[in-house]
């Protein structure tokens, strides 16, 4: 429901077809009536169970709403870095999340949701071996995908160098980091780099970061799921 309503409200989205169950139309009538009156809104089709089964993958779980739409246009990293750096009203500097080949769409969706909740500026990912925009990702993000830029780059090491040149302190999250994130954070914009489940950060990514930092977990659990680690780290930087 959150993913569909956020996409309908996003003027950058090209919306093509909306399926709405009778129950969902009644439950979300106020929101839907306003959104469907906007320019570019799709026509709503009252759908039954069979319509949803025909339109969605077998594993999809819906709440009586399904939207077919085009992929969301995303900015280039260079466009983001042309904006002047400034502190937010709460005194925090911008934070960008960088994902090094994180492929699980549910993890990426959860990371986008945390990024939106804590006020991160964007999520940057690799162009290859990364989670692409999908219904699973958007549903897990719970509407955040239409609020947080999700920027794919061809060369991650080069992107990190661009971030450093723009004034960001690049921090790679790794268990062998000598300092914790709390000890390493400074009064400066930060790019927090997270690696894939299991393999973690790649060698060149590690070497390009300004510093490797860790989260102070305790035994017997020595590491966190990447989406949980992102949420904890964002709270440390922006909470």
- Which pLDDT does position 189 carry in this prediction? 96
In sequence order, which residues have a C-beta less than 8 Å from that of residue 30 and are 6 or more positions away?
A: none
Q: Are strands 15-20 and 65-69 parallel, antiparallel or unpaired?
A: antiparallel
- The pTM assigned to this predicted structure is 0.93
- Which pLDDT does position 239 carry in this prediction? 79
pLDDT of 80 above 80: yes
> What tokens appear for 102 in the block?
């994180």
pLDDT of 222 above 90: no
pLDDT of 74 above 90: yes
> What tokens appear for 166 in the block?
């723009």
Polymer length of the chain:
239
pLDDT of 220 above 80: yes
- Which pLDDT does position 5 carry in this prediction? 96
Sole residue written with tokens 């950058």: 12
pLDDT of 59 above 80: no
Mean of per-residue pLDDT scores for the chain? 94
Angle, in degrees to the nearest 10, between helices 29-36 and 2-9: 30
Rounded to the nearest 5°, which phi and psi values hold at 76? -90, 155
* pLDDT band, residue 60 (cuts 50/70/90): confident
Handedness of CA 225, 221, 205, 158 (dihedral sign): positive
Which residue blocks in the chain are alpha helix, DSSP H? 2-9, 22-27, 29-36, 49-55, 77-81, 105-118, 135-141, 156-165, 181-184, 203-208, 226-238
Q: What is the pLDDT of residues 137-184, one digit of tens each?
A: 999 999 999 999 999 999 999 999 999 999 999 999 998 899 999 999
How far CA 196 is from CA of 66, 130, 206, in Å, comes to 30, 9, 13
| d(C-alpha 64, C-alpha 25), whole Å | 8
In sequence order, which residues have a C-beta less than 8 Å from that of residue 56 and are 6 or more positions away?
A: 62, 66, 135
Sole residue written with tokens 């510093």: 211
SS3 readout for 84-142: CCCCCCCCCCCEEEEEECCCCHHHHHHHHHHHHHHCCCEEEEECCCCCCCCHHHHHHHC
How far CA 110 is from CA of 72, 116, 153, 189, 193, in Å, comes to 18, 10, 20, 23, 16
């Amino acid at each position: 429901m959150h993913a569909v309503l956020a996409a309908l409200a996003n003027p950058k989205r090209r919306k093509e077809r909306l399926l709405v169950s009778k129950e969902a139309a009644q439950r979300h009538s106020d929101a839907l009536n306003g959104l469907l009156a906007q320019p570019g809104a799709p026509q709503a089709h009252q759908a039954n169970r069979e319509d949803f089964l025909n339109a969605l993958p077998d594993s999809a779980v819906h709440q009586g709403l399904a939207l077919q739409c085009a992929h969301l246009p995303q900015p280039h990293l260079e466009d983001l870095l042309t904006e002047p750096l400034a502190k937010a009203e709460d005194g925090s500097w911008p934070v960008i999340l960088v994902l090094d080949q994180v492929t699980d769409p549910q993890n990426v969706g959860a990371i986008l949701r945390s990024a939106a909740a804590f006020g991160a500026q964007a999520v940057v990912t690799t162009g290859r071996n990364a989670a692409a925009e999908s219904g699973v990702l958007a549903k897990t993000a719970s509407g955040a995908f239409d609020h947080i830029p999700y920027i794919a780059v061809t060369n991650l090491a080069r992107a990190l160098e661009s971030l450093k040149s723009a004034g960001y302190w690049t921090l790679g999250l790794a268990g062998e980091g000598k300092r914790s994130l709390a000890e390493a954070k400074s009064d400066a914009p930060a790019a927090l780099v997270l690696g894939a489940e299991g393999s973690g950060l790649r060698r060149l990514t590690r070497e390009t970061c300004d510093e490797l930092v860790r989260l102070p977990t305790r035994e017997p659990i020595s590491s966190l799921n990447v989406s949980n680690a992102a949420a904890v780290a964002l709270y440390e930087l922006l909470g």
